[in-house]
Amino acid sequence: MRPRGHWKGEGVEIGRLTESDLTALAGLYKQFWGEDSCLEKMRATFRRLKERPDYIFLAAKDNGRLVGSVLGIVCEELYGESVPFMVVEDVIVDAEWRRKGIGSALMCELESLAVERNCGYVIFVTEVERTDAQRFYESLGYKPDAYRGFKKRLRKPGQ
């Protein structure tokens, strides 16, 4: 992990998420969503995806303790100049660590990796009612798109 010194937390580093972080990550998801994650499925999915270069799992750790995470996926398209783009998902920061620069550091590192991969843009969606998240993303320079994001759940979680 590379030390990142531009926020308040001493000893916080941004680097790659590891399999040993998954239990703590499930705890962060439970803290945020109030739902349990299936660790067995998390591990199987992580093992399958971690070697794929288009999947970027980042972790923020305070002296080894996971305090945040994000997933970036580099996608290819055929349109125009066929420039790749990045989809961001699963941005999470421990409640005790919010407003201390962890989310910004995770997004900054992910953007740097997107630039290295020649991505033309970063795209993601957030729920309409999450106005705090919208203000956070706007503070990082993201603008609401002129298009509406759409989402259709094909099955209920846990099925």
Q: Which residues contact 58 (CB under 8 A, 6 or more apart)?
A: 14, 15, 16, 17, 69, 70, 71, 72, 106, 109, 110
Distances (CA, A) of 80 to 28, 53, 108: 39, 23, 27
Distance between CA atoms of 155 and 85, rounded to whole angstroms? 27
Which pair of tokens denotes residue 65?
Answer: 């303790």
Q: What is the pLDDT of residue 4?
A: 41
pLDDT tens digits for range 63-110: 999 999 999 999 999 999 999 999 999 999 999 999 889 999 999 999
- pLDDT 10s digits, 30-53: 998 889 999 999 999 999 999 999
SS3 at position 149: coil
Q: Which fold has domain 2-139?
A: Aminopeptidase (3.40.630)
